[in-house]
Amino acid sequence: MAETPPQSKDADASQSSPPVDKIVTTQHKIVIGGREITYTVQCGTIVLREEAEKKDPPGASDGHKPKAEVFFVAYLRDDEPDSRARPLTFSFNGGPGSSSVWLHLGVLGPKRVDMGDAGALKPPPFGLTDNEHSLLDVTDLVFIDPVGTGYSRAVVGEADKQFHSFTKDIHSVGDFIRLFCTRHLRWKSPKYLIGESYGTLRAAALSEYLQDRHGMYLNGIMLVSSILNFGTARFDAHHDLPHILFLPTYTATAWYHRALAPDLQADLRAAVAAARAFAGGEYASALLAGASLSDGERAQIAAKLARFTGLSADYCERADLRIEIFRFCKELLRAQGRTVGRLDSRFTGYDRDSVGENPGYDPSMSAIMGPYTSALYDYVRGELKFESDLTYDILSERTHLNWSYKEFEDRYVDASDALRRAMSNNPHLRVTVLNGYFDLATPFFATEYTFNHLGLPRDLRANVSMHYYEAGHMMYVHAPSLAQMKRDLAAFLAGEA
């Protein structure tokens, strides 16, 4: 048996030495709105520490024990006379288990992925282009990868899984934000959060945590494809709410694929408005009635449900008037042998099992994963000069599957009340919500329902605004939606919406 060579003293030292920040600074410029902007990028990892109990353990610094190395990319505009007065926005995505790449290279940062869109996707290899719709002209930007995503990892001797719970995730991201603001003298800056998908739930809970733990009061929160209450999207037995809340998105999807009657096909917003009225009225009453519906009433509801979904009345009847999301994705274009996407129902794909009830994959996720992954790897090492041989976990399935929601045992995960409390304690906190008509992951009617039941006093309801786009969950892959997002978000940051 071959002997294992002894480790060198240098190797032993590197393993026992405490972790340190690894940050690379580079200079760049871009033209936004016809004006050239110079900016500094800080890219790398910051060591996140916790106060150590009792005596200092090995590796502790000033009584603080290293826990994780958090990867971030910060964009700081150079030509500001007083950077401390400039807005500062912290960005993250969701999953849980997702890195911040989607908002980073999709809409906010000075570079964006050049991948095309539904029906006109570009082939690999994929690249980046200057993002003329970046928000860098109106706010500095910091993109955070929570522990277990991107290049963020627990330090040696610590486990990533300790960060993979609702509460610990909020604490670690919030502590990073406090540390960044302290080191960069940004406590006096107007501060904003922007999250996407599960990141909206994180943003809602963070708004309360930052206030309560660190005394940091935010100016605003931007929620992209929001889900604050999981009860709006869980198709569980005897739980009819998602069937009601998904229906207008089914209508929008059927409209896009030209599966509606001519009168509904004429205008997307009119069709969606009619679907909202039916879903919240006759349809909700019918589901509440259950078996007490007469045969005639049941047939009428099945016919109307078919009208708003593009499915057959017979299918709606056999489904007990309740269309589960994946059944819809399979059934709408079944005659063509195609499946519609969950994240963006404009995208379609082909399953081997064309007669099954569950899609084999999400064609919208498959369309964007490759372009964003290759672009991120090339950009961070090639242009931002940060080098790491670790896998950049774009979307960590291991993190997602092992996430703990123990705080919500025996009930649905819900951060809406945390947002209500934060807004009540800080009446200057404003919220804007961006919704995609073709998003079957976080449907817009479900978001409207959540905010309509937030329990805000009347004088605070004006602090919430909603915007809608003819795209899906990542609505920024659609060029017109990306341009509109810039206008809407810039107006929000300027206090105009």
With beta carbons less than 8 A apart as the criterion, state whether 329 and 342 touch. yes
pLDDT at res. 241: 98
Say how far apart CA 43 and CA 32 lie, in whole Å. 22
Q: Is the dihedral of CA 66, 210, 141, 35 positive or negative?
A: negative
CA angle 111, 78, 217 (to 5 degrees): 85
pLDDT at res. 351: 86
Secondary structure E strands in 257-347: 339-340
CA distances from 481 to 418, 437, 461 (A): 30, 11, 26
For the record, the structure tokens of 392 come out as 């950049």
pLDDT at res. 5: 45
Type of residue numbered 237: A
Would you list the DSSP string of 162-213?
Answer: GG-BHHHHHHHHHHHHHHHHHHTT-TTS-EEEEEEEHHHHHHHHHHHHHHHH
The count of other CB atoms within 10 Å of the CB of residue 347 is: 24
Above pLDDT 90, what percent of the chain? 84
pLDDT at res. 7: 45
In 65-153, alpha helices (H): 101-103
H or E element in which residue 288 lies = helix 284-289
pLDDT at res. 15: 52
pLDDT at res. 59: 52
Ranges of residues in the chain with a pLDDT under 50 are 1-14
Beta bridge partners of 404: 165
DSSP state of 36: E
CA 315 to chain centre: 33
With beta carbons less than 8 A apart as the criterion, state whether 414 and 446 touch. no
> Which of 205, 154, 134 lies closest to 483 in space, CA to CA?
134
CA 431 to chain centre: 15
pLDDT at res. 11: 41
The model's pTM: 0.93
pLDDT at res. 82: 85
Four-CA torsion 427, 429, 434, 440, nearest 10 degrees: -70
Say how far apart CA 334 and CA 344 lie, in whole Å. 17
Mapped onto helix, strand or coil, the DSSP state of residue 435 is strand
Residues 6+ away with beta carbon under 8 Å from 497: 432, 465, 488, 491
> Which of 225, 222, 228 lies closest to 194 in space, CA to CA?
222
Say how far apart CA 347 and CA 338 lie, in whole Å. 10
Write the pLDDT tens digit of every residue in 78-105. Answer: 988 888 889 999 999 999 999 999 999 9
